[in-house]
Structure 1
């Protein structure tokens, strides 16, 4: 399980905004959008997950230094995040990120979210998660699975983003919706 809805760790989290739930009972009554935001703001478990490695990826765009795609080698959790780039461009972007040491999908989000916010991105939404297996030897990337905390990502959309990435242009990218 992703661990984000466990009653035991909900009571330990600090509430950072009065509009977000602070207890497990509050969470059960929240909308899906607020629940995603709650995950983003309150998962302190991720601070000790050693997911602080620098974000490296592709030079897909030149208006900032946040790569669109960053996939660690092997089979690991990934998240699909949408956001609007800062003015004046205001371009909708979709990010695909996986991390080897991420215990939870939210740990990846907690690494990327501050970077997006600090660069002026808006309308940030975690559009789900799953797993990605990057095999450099076979030049294959396979997208599958789901996130208990954020739901299943649109793997077809993730595939499209990865295929457009210059770094993975020589990879065969596939996806399935049949779990882990």
Structure 2
């Protein structure tokens, strides 16, 4: 399996429903990289999201680095996603990147973002 194939096997976005913490993770191998978005309802801290995600990605021979975080409100009934806030441990993610990736993964949802709030 090539480096590109390994990167392609990792979904760009996996998020829960409700309001929760999320992080951006830079996934890389052999000079190639991409940013993935992970958000988990049961994560008390942003680091919990990383701790649950990183081992799965690293098992594919890929490197992982948390590069920022925030919060997401994902209302599946109204088909809306709002991205906001920051992570104390990882800093504020570039929410515009998160919004673009979520919009691609959820084309039937209205995706918005703001730098306001925690």
Same-fold status (TM-score > 0.5)? yes
TM-score by length of 1: 0.58
**Alignment root-mean-square deviation, CA:** 1.8
Change (3 A) 1:91 1:178: same
Flag structure 2 segments of 5+ consecutive residues without an equivalent: 1-5
Which residue of structure 2 lines up, in the alignment, with residue 75 of structure 1?
A: 19
1:92 is matched with which residue: 11, 20, 33? 33
In the TM superposition, structure 1's runs of 4+ consecutive aligned residues that sit over 3 Å from their partners are none
How far off its partner does 1:63 sit?
4.2
Contact 2:26–2:36 (Cα < 8 Å) also in 1? yes
Q: Secondary structure at the match of 2:102?
A: helix
Contact 2:85–2:92 (Cα < 8 Å) also in 1? yes
Distance 1:151 1:145 in 2: 9
Q: Secondary structure at the match of 1:95?
A: strand
1:126 is matched with which residue: 49, 66, 72? 66
Distance 1:135 1:177 in 2: 19
Structure with higher RCO (Cα < 8 A, 6+ apart): 2
Structure of larger gyration radius: 1
Aligned length: 113
Distance 2:17 2:32 in 1: 29
> Of Structure 1 and Structure 2, which has the larger fraction of its residues in strand?
2
Flag structure 1 segments of 5+ consecutive residues without an equivalent: 1-60
